[in-house]
Amino acid sequence: MAKDYTKLAATIVELVGGEQNVSSVTHCITRLRFKLKDESLAQTERLNQTEGVISILKAAGQYQVVIGNHVTDVYDAIPKVSNIELGGEVEAEEEGGNLLNRAINLLSGIFMPMLPAMSAAGLLKAFVIMFNTFGVLDSASTTYQLLYAMGDAVFYFMPIFLGRTAAKKFHCNDWTAMAIAAFLCYPTLTTLYNGTDPVDLFGLPVTLISYTSSVLPIIVAVYVQSWVEKGLNKIVPDMLKGLLVPICTLFVACVATLFVVGPVTDFVGRAIANALSGLLATVPLVAGFLIGALWPCLIIFGMHWGFIPIIMSNIGTLGYDVILPITVGTNFAVGFAALAVFLKTKNPELKETAAASTISALFAGITEPAIYGVVLKYKRPFVIMALSCGVCGAIAATGGLTQAALMTTCLLTIPAIGGMVGWLDVIALAIASVITFVCTLIFGFSDEMLLAEDK
């Protein structure tokens, strides 16, 4: 029988200041993300003590309630206990807060809805590559080609997916945004790009780039669309809006992308990719260690979302990414830190929390329950885990490892990691896991920390 989460939902709504204090609420894989009118009305200490709530985080202009694996159930129960509308976005979301918070909030809003599709497609693509590497599938066979297409299609048509999610964030017509993206993915553009003849539009030279699998061009193109659309809606008579606004917006945004947005964003994307690759090539040990060690800290504040466009741009521009192999050890190190706490503690509540969060991290790749409920809470396990992730990053960077697609990392996907990235990455994540587990078990945690916490 399914558990009833209405009581927990009602408690959360009450403790964030009541429904009248909530501007909007959304959710990600493990967190309820509230936009509150007045954060001072939220009773953070009581929420932290509420059964079913792992932790409270204030980041990216949001009041985030970390729930864990059952976040969707709690989220769906909110309308049953209040008049709060789910998924509402408010204009203040982009206007409030500092520039960093606004940027992270924007990027997470654009990429987060795509995460399930990207993870599933990336994992399927990784397994197909692995089967080919092991000689199970011949790359010339139609079976391989069809399976590879299943995994690669999401990434090939990435602009269309991003067009829709970006339109939601920029508050413009999502169908027009998808039409712009479809134009960028149209086979004729790919043919012209791969050809040797010069391309022009109205006699003006066009510098074509490869838009399939790209990230930055469509996001900026939709931003341009939003301004064109808003401007036209102000001047076009109501009786003509349905006809003139979409066609003029589509035309202006597409032309602007061909002449300006595409070439500029392609230059920026390649500059970032080359700078990152150059840094890792020059000082791989140091750069890899720093990126790997800092990644868990970025996850805590949601700042890792700022790297998603860079990662996806690298894959679209270079055909691979260099950040993913460096950060591959994070989920495993977090899980094994929680496992060590589970084995060492005699506290029944902590043991239950640690067991559940270990399973979540190691078998589902969802680390927030372990990070907030166990690892970060007692500080020392977090420091050990972060340093261990740095070791993993240093090994991956020194080995020059690359990854061709985004995918979930957990125990179940280790064969895919080995097949797509290389077994050196598996060795690196294993080393990080062992260091974290052993050090946490020996000196990283004791039940005395619970007594200190109660004082």
Cβ atoms 242, 175 nearer than 8 A: no
Res. 224 pLDDT band, cuts 50 70 90: very high
Whether the predicted pLDDT of 89 surpasses 70 = no
Using an 8 Å Cβ cutoff, are 176 and 249 in contact? Answer: yes
For the chain, how big is the Rg over CA atoms in Å?
24
Q: Are 445 and 344 in contact (CB under 8 A)?
A: yes
Tens digits of per-residue pLDDT, 365-394?
878 778 877 888 888 999 999 999 999 999
Residue whose tokens read 């509230």: 34
| pLDDT over 70 at 60, yes or no | no
Mean pLDDT of the chain: 87
Non-local CB neighbours of 303 within 8 Å, separated by 6+ positions: 59, 100, 104
* Cα angle 428-434-440, degrees, rounded to a multiple of 5: 135
User: What's the CA gap between 278 and 398, in Å, rounded?
Assistant: 13
Cβ-count burial 364-394 (b if 16+ within 10 Å, e if not): bbbbbbbbbbbbbbbebbbebbbbbbbbbbb
Provide mean pLDDT across the span 238-257.
Answer: 93
Looking at the predicted structure, is the pLDDT value of residue 455 above 60? no
Are 420 and 403 contacting, i.e. CB atoms less than 8 angstroms apart? Answer: yes
User: CA-CA distance, 106 to 92, in Å (whole number)?
Assistant: 12
345/375 Cα distance (integer angstroms):
13
**In 3D, which of 117, 121, 124, 132 has the Cα closest to residue 419?**
132
Architecture per CATH, domain 6-95, reads as 2-Layer Sandwich (3.30)
Q: What does the pLDDT read at residue 443?
A: 92
Q: Of 197-211, 337-351, 352-366, where does mean pLDDT reach its minimum? A: 352-366
Which run of H or of E encompasses 33?
strand 31-36
- State pTM to two decimals: 0.70
pLDDT tens, residue by residue, 249-285: 999 999 999 999 999 988 888 888 888 888 888 999 9
Q: What is the mean pLDDT of residues 349-378?
A: 85
Of 4-13, 263-272, 306-315, the one with minimum mean pLDDT is 306-315
pLDDT of residue 93: 41
13 C-beta neighbours (distance < 10 Å), count: 22
Classify 55 as helix, strand or coil. strand
Spatial strand order in the sheet of 55-59: 22-27, 31-36, 62-66, 55-59
Looking at residue 364, what is its pLDDT? 78
What tens digit of pLDDT does each residue of 99-137 get? 666 776 777 778 878 877 887 888 888 888 888 878 888
The predicted structure's pLDDT at residue 451: 58
Percent of the chain topping pLDDT 90: 45
Least confident among 309-318, 334-343, 418-427 = 309-318
Question: pLDDT band for position 357 (50/70/90)?
Answer: confident
| Region of poorest pLDDT, from 102-111, 198-207, 337-346, 427-436 | 102-111
Per-residue pLDDT, averaged over 223-241, amounts to: 93
DSSP result, 285-303:
HHHHHHHHHHHHHHHHTTG
State percent of the chain over pLDDT 70. Answer: 94
Write a three-state SS string for 393-439: HHHHHHCCCCECCCCCCCHHHHHHHHHHCCHHHHHHHHHHHHHHHHH
Provide the CB-side half-sphere exposure for 129 (13 A, CA). 21
* 196 confidence band (pLDDT: 50, 70, 90): confident
pLDDT, position 68: 76
Identify whether the C-beta of residue 97 lies closer than 8 Å to the C-beta of residue 103. no
Q: What are the tens digits of pLDDT across the range 143-178?
A: 999 998 998 898 889 899 999 999 988 999 999 999
Domains in the chain: boundaries = 6-95, 157-275, 284-454
